[in-house]
Structure 1
Amino acid sequence: MSDPADPKRFGLYLVAAERSGDLLGGGLIKALKQSPGYVFNFAGVGGPSMADEGVESPFDISDLSIIGLVEGVKAYNRVIRRVKQTVADILDKRPDMVVLIDSWGFTLRVAQRVRKLAPEIKLVKYVGPQVWATRPGRARTLAAAVDHLMSIHSFDAPYFEKAGLPTTFVGNPTFERDVTGDGAAFRQRHGLDANDTVMLTLFGSRPSELSRMYESFAQTLSEMKALHPEVRHITILAGTIEHTARERLEQDERLAHLLVVDEDEKRDAFSASDLALACSGTVTTELAMAGVPHLAAYKLEPVTYFILDTFKVFKAPYISMVNIAADEELIGEFLQSAAEPSDLVPALSALVSDKERRANLSRRLIETTDGMRGAGQASERAARTVIDLLNA
């Protein structure tokens, strides 16, 4: 450990190209700040969580949240422009280490260029690609691009170490976030009775997700209102889609019954909800931690889905990490053509009508995510790993 009276100083550059990575980056910075005997000069690309810790991003990362082959092709020029901008900023600041968080395509390109132009800078990947589920060759590609991997899954290491990449399991900070809130206070604030059945809908955090999921979700909510007029409907809008989503919702007469709340009420809204419909992503894990029975729906561009389905690229039995951990579909998964009202409405209606089933699912979701949490303190373990690598 360094002497607090004579601290070691390091420059650290973090790259997070989407909201989930930004949350990891913010947690890592906070943990590093609390490490005695060290002073860090932070810089990087990120979002609001990293900004809260004093890191001002050179550009808005919202246009880099890209999933899918077709989507990637469409965004290629924009991504490359941002990669060059990021690399130029790294070369200008000359940090001791660059931590590249999630976002496979973007961070890989940054790593490869930095390695070529400034090989003395240490490169650490935080969150590896899911090679156990798809594209195992990415392990070798990553091993050639970075010096170390900090993994959030306990079963990652053998895949990457076999490819020659040293790997440290640090854990997943998602499972350490406090998702509990005051549901009773939320209901009181918004005129919801204590006995009302409350359904939460989450449209996603990427503009592309809002675009693809909006119509299916809107029509589903309209039909649910007709089938179950007693159910109260709420939604939380992620900051990355809030402006566009509010405009659409205000103009959609089908959703006049939908209560829209700000993201700062998220935990209270979770605690107030009896069931949910969500665009698949990190938020489904958070809902599971809060014990909210829910359905996860997702749509890719048709060509992207056709390629993935035809060539059986995805090997895992489920898309949700919670379902994979439970080896059971605790979270209902509705992909592509199944993510339509014709499938979503009956599944949601069954949840509304079966209070006992909701209670059982809630218990199982909490038990499963408790088991996935592990020892906790993931951000602190990541910080210790970074410090060890900087001192090596």
Structure 2
Amino acid sequence: MSERPLTVMLVAAEASGDDRGAHLARALKRRLGEGVRLVGVGGARMRAEGVESPFDISELSILGLLEGLMAWRKVVRRADEAADLAERERPDIAVLIDSWGFTLRVAQRLRRRFPGMPVVKYVAPQVWASRPGRARTTAETFDLLLTIHVFDAPAFQREGLETVFVGDSTLALDFGAADPARMRERIGAGPQEPILLVAPGSRPSEIQRVLPAFEDAVRILKAERPGLHVVVLAAPTVAATVKARVAGWPRGCHVVEGEAAKRDAMTAATVALACSGTVTTELALAGCPVVVGYRLGPVTHAILKRLIRTKYVTLFNIAAQDFVAPELIQDDCNGPALAREAALRMDDADLRRRQVEQQSAALLKMGRGGPDPGDVAADAVLDLARRRR
């Protein structure tokens, strides 16, 4: 009689976590084939790898202290549902990905219901930026931490938590199949005509707070440059809202969806306006100069101003310890300022070239070119499972 498959529970609550969960799921299947069974919570990418989520994770894509408090009941209910799923499926090991507030609550429930089951945290809370006390909480709650940044580990190792650096799966993105000419043909742009890429984020709160400033910048730039082509990325979690909003923008603005079209657009763009997040790393990988914008709720911003210990918000800026890409945050994230920074880069090829070179150098510091993070994560998860099974 053959040994039963190893059952691995994967839990993600946001688009970036869904992507990391899908990478990990593929790596686990490559190693074990029919010897692994995947269960858990995730989005479309994890579903494509066989992880059927009991609920839609888009409602958990929450950013901000006030927003988190308002969504507290929903988060608790969904954490209970995730634990109920574990009761039904009886996983051998659980991997909880990013989304600190939600995954911490899931971990606490799993600890109570399955005291002997190993629980892994994939993506460390950013204690180097704020709230260093979370390092101890992580060590007390999880058996293993998988970090995506080289500068994550020390704070958690000091608390005695086993920590493995796996790297950022975003850095393994392959733009080899991207075709900028295909995107230019699709939107009717000539080979030398400028393209502004707008990446407004994947959370509803980001669309609400950041997209209006990006929209103002687009209107200013289109008024100055009527022939400017604008391409707007619509993440699956906010696609309907983005498309409805962009429908009222000036002529020559196009919405694209899907991974292939996104990569075509990133490689075709002259410059990008991007909401702070994973997309800034993707744009750097594509060789596109980025102008970063971000806005938080006023209460959240007022509190975080007292807590944040880093002056940078963009990962490759943190790695470089320099403003490689300009960051326009809160009140500075407004149409005129964004338009000015984008126009500077559209008009100065040498500035674009220097920024792209600096972005690429920062990506190397982040671990670009290393082993596939999904493979490293899978090996670490399987090693822990074998030790504890």
Matched residue type, 2:357 = R
- For the residue of structure 2 that corresponds to 1:255, the secondary structure is coil
CA distance in structure 2 between the partners assigned to 1:374 and 1:141 by the alignment: 32
Match of 1:212 in 2: 209
Structure 1: tracts of 5 or more residues without a match: none
2:376 matched residue in structure 1: 381
**Secondary structure in 1 aligned to 2:351?**
helix
CA contact (8 A) 2:202 2:238 kept: yes
Equivalent residue, structure 1, for 2:270 = 274
Give the direction of change, closer, same or farther, for the CA distance of 1:137–1:38 in structure 2 (3 Å limit). farther
Query: 1:354 — aligned with what?
Result: 348
How far off is 1:228 after superposition? 2.3
Is 1:193 the counterpart of 2:190 in the alignment?
yes
Q: Which residue pairs with 1:130 in the alignment?
A: 126
- List gaps (5 residues or longer) in structure 2: none
Q: Deviations over 1:33-79 (max 9, x none)?
A: 01158711110100011011011100000010111111101111111
User: Under a length normalisation based on structure 2, what TM-score does the superposition of the two structures give?
Assistant: 0.95
1:229-278 C-alpha deviation (Å, 9 max, x unpaired): 2321111211111112112222x2x4333112222401111111010101
Contact kept in structure 2, 1:7 and 1:37, CA below 8 Å? no
Shift of 1:158: 1.8
Letter in 2 for 1:193: G
Cα distance change, pair 286–386 in 1 and its aligned pair in 2 (3 A): same
In structure 2, C-alpha distance between the alignment counterparts of 1:304 and 1:37, rounded to whole Å:
45
Q: Which residue number in structure 1 is paired with residue 250 of structure 2?
A: 255
Q: Deviations over 1:323-380 (max 9, x none)?
A: 1111211111011000101311211121121111112212222232134215221110
RMSD over aligned Cα atoms: 1.6
The answer to whether 1:228 aligns with 2:222 is: no
**Comparing 211-220 with 280-289, which one deviates more in the overlay?**
211-220
Counterpart Cα distance in 1 of 2:370 and 2:120: 23
Distance in 2, matches of 1:261 and 1:271, equals 14
Task: Return the alpha-carbon distance in structure 1 between the equivalents of residues 217 and 384 of structure 2.
Answer: 50
- The 2-side partners of 1:239 and 1:98 are apart by 26
Q: How does 1:329-368 map to 2 (within 5 A)?
A: 329-368=323-362
Length, aligned pairs only = 384
What is residue 176 of structure 1 aligned with on the other side?
172
Distance of aligned partners of 1:11 and 1:306 in 2 relative to their CA distance in 1, 3 Å threshold: same
Output the CA distance in 2 between the equivalents of 1:304 and 1:36.
Answer: 44
What is the 5 A alignment of 1:100-115?
Answer: 100-115=96-111
Matched residue, 1:391: 386
Aligned: 1:55 with 2:51:
yes
Q: Which deviates the most, 264-273 or 373-382?
A: 373-382
Instruction: Report the TM-score, using the length of structure 1 for normalisation.
Output: 0.94
CA contact (8 A) 1:8 1:38 kept: no
Cα deviation for residue 389 of structure 1 reads 0.4
Sequence identity, in percent?
42
SS of corresponding position for 2:236: coil
In the alignment, the residues of structure 1 paired with residue 350 and residue 322 of structure 2 have an alpha-carbon distance, to the nearest angstrom, of 18
2:313 is matched with which residue: 319, 330, 334? Answer: 319
CA drift of 1:7 comes to 6.4
1:179–1:286 Cα contact (<8 Å) kept: no
